[in-house]
Chain A
């Protein structure tokens, strides 16, 4: 069953069609990757799903309920969380505080409860803290919770961003090039971790990646975008052989060479 569905999704910036009548189905409990060359519209797709952009035409459904027209904070409350291509942590907050912000919409404390520190608020804060520490441990950052997030090493920042997204208790997690800037070994570790997320938490993962190689091992379905259009979709091995995909990545000449080599 599809968790996220887009139908004829189109997003334009002036004359530029960033996403062109895109139909996409992300199946529940799967890792679905969206790949494509630079400027293919991958991040725009994420921005449309999470409510930062409003598509001109088309529909985005989460479990048959439309997401179009809702604000980002309403969409995350419906269960779609994301990370960013260029890490966007709250850099002057500590790692734990970053995660606590992710828990925001699951907390209820109001002004009076906070000022009087009512029993309900105290209990809620205690539980939130415990959950934050659990998430911190889950992503392997135990002991680093009191560091300002800007002082964490790059790889840890990536993981903290995932922990913060997980704190919103999402059904679907959108990861925007999580392996960017990592060496092959690190990105392999990360992919294993993402697999682990799916197995452990049962959430659906929609993954943007620039390099095909990285997602091959873990994705069930790969969608290839080029100039906002879907040019191929299917299991990784199949997509990898698709001549249109090779052409999009390597250009026409490259495709010919690749064919000759094959």
Chain B
């Protein structure tokens, strides 16, 4: 082995890949669209941050792969990748100045090129600055790669926090302004569009210090908590729960109308995600038609309650059980023909069923009952003891209750005879059957429970909107739900919440993202599969035996095995 001749090779390769990526990001208009939002006022915008993060990440990968790991090679490798990205971007700028690219790429606007050259008057100065910035970013990424894990984590966390603080100004400001004495912080951090320089530096330093402190002391604190006597620990757990419930309860008041609306959408997706999580995450059956149960829940609610049709005119609470039962029945009906299918075939078939439901509700044939393309309107709001769940801020509580109920059921099921049989089927269907698991009933139960959860989400969705349309139930919903549980972590209950917040919440908050939603989904999925295939919040393995050992200390003390005895 003679690694010396190609030791900078990773830097160059990553630089080229990264360069292509940043040019594409610019070409599709993402950089320009994100430029409306300033992260730090008059210093850096979200568009620039996007490029910067991309470049830093790629250069970091290049630096990490540099061989041999000497300071010089790592730094050169990082700088090389940064510089190459800048070179490619400069070539793009030069090309854009020489030829009118807009005829093909409508986003290659003068504004974009101005942005890429830091608004410099002369092209030469702009490109020089760009190259310098690229090399500098690469060098910093190289330095980052050389630092100890603790410092690196602190810096990256602090940087991400500053970015998020700038990006989510609309989210942070209303919260702070409600928080009494903290409202002064608002004026300090956000005097205009984005963080001010002092604010950004403060956030950076505070977060970096906190992260470093926690990394150093965190283990000690955790072991202190663990060494508390059980009674004290229980008190602590109850305290956590009380604080958590309190926060959940007052959240819509703090967040205001718009953010409560976002929360209700996230909540509906959490319910859907928990439903799909049973089918895909627990039982391992790839269901791409999950929107079907959502639609069934919504339409059942609409038919039973809407005076527009005038069939039943039940109220929300009377109709809800029917909606759930209809969902369960649909789940069983859809599952029955696909019982013997696995993997790809199952995915395609369920995808078809999802579309069939949508086309049925759209059809003229069922128009007298389902309203056709016009849908069904005038669905009454849910009411409980005179409390109307109308505005997002009140609806939030209904959805919160639904999420808690479904989460609770999921959690109980996960760790039970039924949950284990689902997971056994997921791991190896044949062996599961050879262990005495009835595949038919196990699969039917997974579809029934998953569909029931999603139908409940659909029913609430119907009263939230007050009307249902076939177009609300297209295949993208199924794909979104699947992305939510993949990103959150297959089979993980907290993962569904994290996934829904990240994939549904963020695009709502950052409207710029919405346009690029599919692109971002694709990129996120690829990145997740490469970097963190187990998801953002993977399912924890259960510590069963140790619990038992704690209570019954004799069990593990016998190292003598039956085999060696024999």
A90 and B424 in contact (CB under 8 A), knowing A72-B434, A138-B562, A189-B564? Answer: yes
If A145-B544, A148-B541 touch, whether A90 touches B437 (CB-CB below 8 Å) is no
Contact of A93 with B by CB under 8 A: yes
Q: Is the CB of A142 within 8 A of B438?
A: no
B-side contacts of A84, CB under 8 Å: 431
B424 CB contacts on chain A under 8 angstroms: 90, 93, 101, 104
Q: Are B427 and A90 in contact (CB under 8 A)?
A: yes
**Do residues B542 and A189 form an inter-chain contact, with CB atoms below 8 A?**
no
Partner of B566, one of A94, A109, A111, A189: A189
**A230 interfacial contact with B, CB 8 Å:** no
The residues in B between 527 and 566 inclusive whose CB is less than 8 angstroms from any CB of A are 541-546, 548-549, 555-556, 558-566
C-alpha gap A81/B436 in the complex (Å): 9
The residue among B417, B438, B445, B449 with the most chain A CB atoms within 10 A of its own CB is: B417
The minimal Cβ–Cβ distance linking B1 to chain A, given in whole angstroms, is 30
Interface contact A91-B413, CB-CB below 8 Å? no
Partner of A77, one of B408, B428, B436: B436
* Inter-chain contact A139/B548, CB cutoff 8 Å: no
- Chain B residues lying within 8 Å of A236, measured Cβ to Cβ, are none
Is the CB–CB distance between A114 and B548 below 8 Å?
no
Residue of B427, B545, B546, B558 with highest tally of chain A CB at under 10 A: B545
Chain-B contact segment, one of A3-11, A18-26, A129-137, A237-245: A129-137
Report chain A residues within 8 Å CB of B428. Answer: 88, 90
Question: B100 an interface residue at 8 Å Cβ cutoff?
Answer: no
Question: Which A residues touch B566, using CB under 8 A?
Answer: 189, 192-193, 195-196
Q: Does A125 belong to the interface (CB within 8 Å)? A: yes
Given contacts A72-B434, A73-B439, A104-B417, contact A193 B543 (CB under 8 A): no
Q: A96-B544, A104-B437, A146-B545 are in contact. Are A125 and B423 (CB under 8 A)?
A: no
Distance of B402 from chain A, by nearest CB (Å) = 15
A92 an interface residue at 8 Å Cβ cutoff?
Answer: yes
Residue ranges of A at the interface with B (Cβ–Cβ < 8 Å): 50, 52, 71-73, 76-77, 81-82, 84, 88-97, 100-102, 104-105, 107, 109, 111, 114-115, 117, 121, 125, 129-130, 133, 136-146, 148, 159, 164, 168, 189-190, 192-193, 195-196
Known pairs A76-B436, A115-B413; list 15 more (Cβ under 8 Å). A76-B434, A84-B431, A88-B430, A90-B424, A93-B424, A101-B424, A104-B437, A105-B436, A109-B418, A111-B445, A121-B416, A137-B558, A143-B549, A146-B546, A189-B563
Contact A101 B445 (CB under 8 A): no
Judge whether A136 and B432 touch: CB under 8 Å: no
Q: Which residues of A contact B408 (CB under 8 A)?
A: 115
Whether B562 contacts A193 by the Cβ 8 Å rule is: yes
Pick the 10 closest A-B CB pairs, nearest first.
A140-B561, A145-B545, A105-B436, A192-B566, A90-B427, A114-B416, A196-B566, A76-B436, A72-B433, A101-B424
Is B433 in contact with A71, judged by CB distance below 8 angstroms? yes
Closest to B427 in A: A90
**Given A73-B433, A73-B438, A93 and B427 contact (CB-CB distance below 8 Å):** yes
With a 10 A CB-CB cut-off, give which of B418, B420, B434, B548 has the most chain A CB atoms: B434
Render B429-464 as a binary contact track against A, CB cut-off 8 A, 1 for contact: 011111111110000010001000000000000000
- The answer, among A94, A133, A168, A192, for a CB contact under 8 Å with B435, is A168
Contact B434 A73 (CB under 8 A): yes
Shortest distance in angstroms between A234's beta carbon and chain B's nearest beta carbon?
26
Any chain A CB within 8 A of the CB of B412?
Answer: yes
List the A side residues contacting B439 at CB < 8 Å: 73
Smallest CB–CB gap between B562 and chain A, Å? 5
A255–B437 Cα distance when bound, in Å, is 47
Also in contact, A90 and B555, with CB within 8 A (given A145-B544, A146-B542, A168-B436): no
In the complex, the answer to whether B563 meets A192 with C-beta atoms within 8 Å is yes
Cβ of B433: which chain A residues have Cβ within 8 Å of it?
A: 71-73
Contact of B556 among A73, A76, A142 (CB under 8 A): A142
Q: What are the residues of chain B within 8 A of A137 when measuring CB–CB?
A: 555, 558, 562
**Least CB distance, B154 to chain A, in whole angstroms:** 31
C-alpha spacing A91/B541, complex, angstroms: 12
Closest residue of A by beta carbon distance from B560: A140
- The one of A73, A90, A141 that contacts B436, using a Cβ cutoff of 8 Å: A73
B556 to chain A, nearest CB (A): 4
B544 near A114: Cβ-Cβ < 8 Å:
no
Query: Is B421 on the interface with A (CB-CB < 8 A)?
Result: yes
A115 partner, pick from B409, B432, B544, B548, beta carbons under 8 A: B409
- Interface-centre pick from A114, A117, A125 (highest chain B CB count, 10 A): A114
Smallest CB separation, A221 vs chain B (Å): 21
Given the known A-B contacts A92-B427, A114-B412, A189-B564, are A102 and B545 also in contact in the complex, defined by CB atoms under 8 Å?
Answer: no
Nearest A-chain residue to B416, judged by Cβ: A114
Q: How far is the CB of B550 from chain A (nearest CB, A)?
A: 12
A179 to B: closest C-beta gap in Å: 12
A159 near B563 with CB under 8 A, answer yes
**Hey, which chain B residues are within 8 Å of A141, CB to CB?**
561
CA distance A77 to B435 in the complex (A): 8
Contacts of A144 in B (CB 8 A): 545
Judge whether A164 and B545 touch: CB under 8 Å: no
20 CB contacts below 8 A, A to B, read A52-B430, A76-B435, A88-B428, A88-B430, A92-B427, A101-B423, A104-B417, A104-B436, A105-B437, A109-B416, A125-B416, A143-B545, A144-B545, A146-B543, A146-B545, A159-B563, A164-B435, A189-B563, A193-B566, A196-B565
Residue of B nearest to A142 (CB): B556
B412: chain A residues at CB < 8 Å are: 114-115, 117
Inter-subunit contact B563/A129 (CB<8 Å): no
Q: What are the residues of chain B within 8 A of A71 when measuring CB–CB?
A: 433, 438
Q: Using Cβ atoms and an 8 Å threshold, which residues of chain A touch B549? A: 143
> Which residues of B have CB within 8 Å of A130?
548
Query: Which residues of B, 142-176, contact A by the 8 Å Cβ criterion?
Result: none
Pick the residue among A94, A142, A195 that contacts B555 (CB under 8 A). A142
Instruction: Chain A residues near B556: list those with CB within 8 A.
Output: 142-143
Most buried by A among B413, B449, B546, B562: B562
Which of B541, B555, B560, B562 is close to A146, meaning CB atoms less than 8 Å apart? B541
Q: In the complex, A67→B99 CA distance in Å? A: 79
Contacts of A105 in B (CB 8 A): 435-437
A129 in contact with B436 (CB, 8 Å): no
